[in-house]
A and B are shown apart, each in its own frame.
Chain A
Amino acid sequence: MSRDAGTPSGRSGSVAIDDVLHIRQHTHLKRLFASQAFWVMVSLIIICVAMSIAEPPFHSEENFYNITRNFALVGMMSLGMTVVIITGGIDLSVGSTMGVVAVASGLMLQAGSSWFLAVVVALGAGAIVGVINGLLIAYIGLSPFVVTLGMLSAARSAAVVLSRNRMLYQFGPGGPVFKEIGAGAFLGIANPVWFMVLLTVAMALVLRFTAWGRHMFAIGGNEQAAILTGVPVKRLKLEAYIVCSLTAAVSGILTVGWAGSAINAMGTGYELRAIASAVIGGANLMGGEGGMFGAFVGSALIEVIRNSLLMAGVDSNWQGLFVGLFIVAAVLLERIRGKRRE
């Protein structure tokens, strides 16, 4: 056996290096076409144009206002959900978190607190849920599905007990401002939509341009590798669940403000819509893939489909079927694109 057995092919490889290094494989256009969020946006535009032609009331100012506000309230949760999904986790408790947050803010307002204190306490309630989820998942090592399923039940129960199963609406002096935050509008666009846009942009920048964001993707891609290279995996997972619960809390606060009352059933079933939005927007439930823009257009698409069906006079009981079809179609699309990449 000669010592140079491996050399020839290695050499022929080295000749080509300078020729290939300057080729930029990822042109911007290529990257755009490869992203799921882009195709979801295209279908969103197609549906909107088709509906505007078929059902003129669809593009009325009032309907636009309603759609955008409704989607923003669920959409914010899907932003936090996407962060958790990127790490390879899941948070089934966001709907119940909304309920707890709603009750917490309602109780504060009824007790006569200022709007500011009510917001702080509500965010704190959300953060506590996130800390409990995160500690159990990251530090004790329990499965995210089981922990947050337990929290889905426990947090809802806490909301019911704390509210003594009553609707909270007799708000004190903090009420008007609190309601204005959730129900008001700025430049003709509902406040929750502004929150949603700001949150999307801020979180997208953090995810793309900071080590924090990159490490979230690393954990989802190969958690063992992240640990071995020295990424603080446990701390980051804890933070991901706190971020997720906080987005649910913001959504809960705005929903109470918009509705003018707090009910303990608020957010029931929303966890599935938040997950669906994230998945439609390109988040991979196996972890390591997903984006804020995707979550944004994903939740917009779900709301537009719901609204379109209502406008077209389809029995509202059919909505679930169509949303379900889009979820499966999105995952199928992802699979087909994934195959082509291999």
Chain B
Amino acid sequence: MPVLELKNIAKHFGAIEAVAGVDLALEPGEIVGLMGDNGAGKSTLVKIIAGNFPPSSGELLIQGKPVHFHRPVEARQQGIEIVYQDLALCNNLTASANVFLARERHQRVGPIKVLHDKIMHGRAGELFAELKSETRPRDVVRQMSGGQRQAVAIARTRLSNAKIVLMDEPTAAISVRQVAEVLELLRRLRDQGIAVILISHRMPDVFAVCDRVVVLRRGRKVADKPIKSSSPEEVTGLITGAIHVA
């Protein structure tokens, strides 16, 4: 059974049709590349899945059950986590403080609840180890490489045992070596049975890690096929409209 299913999803902003008639099914442990030009409806679709706003029409199913999100928190409760493009990290805090931000673990000292850093460092360390990232829980994020920052942002999604992770342009602003690191992190998520949607402009990244590629153009899905049976040339053609449908 697909972990996430979209059925005939549409979203209008006034007279503008941002997304129309999109069907999409996501299986556990697969990485789907979501591609499209600026304004093709990628971010609208992602925001619908992440609960930023409800669709104008259509249905959203999580493990076969229809769901309605009005706020991002509701999506998170259903196991959907999003890694924002700017990662939403606090540079002045440690890696483990960022992972546990607003979800801190406490211990009681008399009547007072105090932070339980030992447990948080330990759990963050385990998550980084799972991701095979050389990120140390006690290090301050400010001093970290782009790849390590991604690991912190992704570890945050692992904390809640998310079933679906949305990655918004994770490789847009980092060095080539760090891109390799981030793609490796995505493979780790897949290996643990998590479904990943990778929103990216970078063709090489999508073809390096994705199992499937979905192309949007002007709010409509124009392609949804296994990566093996496609090619960067075909996808480029689909994005620009040189090829109509695949």
Of the candidate stretches A17-25, A101-109, A117-125, A189-197, the one touching chain B is A17-25
A10, B180: Cβ atoms under 8 Å?
Answer: yes
Task: Kindly report which residue of chain A lies nearest to residue B207, judged by CB atoms.
Answer: A1
A226 to B88, CA, bound (A): 8
Evaluate whether A230 and B91 lie within 8 angstroms (CB atoms) in the complex, with A4-B208, A7-B184, A16-B134 already known: no
A49 to B208, CA, bound (A): 66
A9, B138: Cβ atoms under 8 Å?
Answer: no
A6 to B106, CA, bound (A): 39
Of the candidate stretches A158-166, A207-215, A293-301, the one touching chain B is A207-215
B209, A21: Cβ atoms under 8 Å?
Answer: no
Number of interface residues of B (CB under 8 A): 46
Q: Which residues of B contact A (CB under 8 A)?
A: 72-73, 84, 86-93, 97, 101-104, 106, 112-115, 125, 129, 132-134, 136, 138-139, 142-143, 156, 177, 179-181, 183-184, 203-205, 207-209, 227, 232
A221, B91: Cβ atoms under 8 Å?
Answer: yes
20 residue pairs of the A-B complex, CB under 8 angstroms, read A5-B208, A6-B179, A6-B184, A6-B208, A7-B180, A11-B184, A13-B181, A17-B129, A24-B138, A25-B138, A210-B113, A218-B90, A218-B97, A221-B91, A225-B87, A225-B89, A228-B84, A229-B101, A229-B103, A341-B142
Contact partners of A21 in chain B: CB under 8 A? 125, 129, 134, 136
Contact partners of B102 in chain A: CB under 8 A? 215, 226, 229-231
Task: Kindly report which residue of chain A lies nearest to residue B117, judged by CB atoms.
Answer: A209
A221, B207: Cβ atoms under 8 Å?
Answer: no
Contact partners of A5 in chain B: CB under 8 A? 180, 183, 204, 207-208
A13 to B90, CA, bound (A): 25
Q: Which residues of A contact B (CB under 8 A)?
A: 1-11, 13-14, 16-17, 20-21, 23-26, 209-211, 214-215, 217-218, 220-222, 224-226, 228-231, 288-289, 341
Contact partners of B103 in chain A: CB under 8 A? 229-230
Contact partners of A25 in chain B: CB under 8 A? 136, 138-139
- With beta carbons under 8 angstroms apart, the residue of A1, A16, A214 that contacts B97 is A214
5 interchain residue pairs of minimum CB distance: A10-B184, A221-B90, A6-B183, A288-B92, A225-B88
Contact partners of B184 in chain A: CB under 8 A? 6-7, 10-11, 13-14
Q: Determine how close the nearest CB of chain A comes to the CB of B31; give it in whole angstroms.
A: 11
A11 to B97, CA, bound (A): 27
